[in-house]
Amino acid sequence: MTPTQFAVLVQRAAAVWLGVDVEKTIDLGGGVKMKFVLIPAGEFIMGSPANEEGRADNEGPQHRVGITTSFYIGKYEVTQEQWER
């Protein structure tokens, strides 16, 4: 299982546990919609190990990041049409 697949699995498990949707689509009107994904509360390690092959200088140091409140974030970049809505 790749890290991305694992992250999706954790996200879905958290959503089931919280009783919320993993993804939401918001209708902005005029046929314009926007998709959001759940970022569940929890902790993760940000950054890559110092001994990782191909690591760039701006990828460390590794540190723990905590998210205290679940939230939704846009799944894709905001389009001009969405921004104008």
pLDDT along the chain (85 residues), means of 10: 71 72 91 92 88 92 91 94 95
Q: What is the pLDDT of residue 24?
A: 92
Decide: helix, strand or coil at residue 55: coil
Q: What is the pLDDT of residue 1?
A: 64
Q: What is the pLDDT of residue 16?
A: 72
Tokens of 15: 């959503």
Q: What is the pLDDT of residue 4?
A: 67
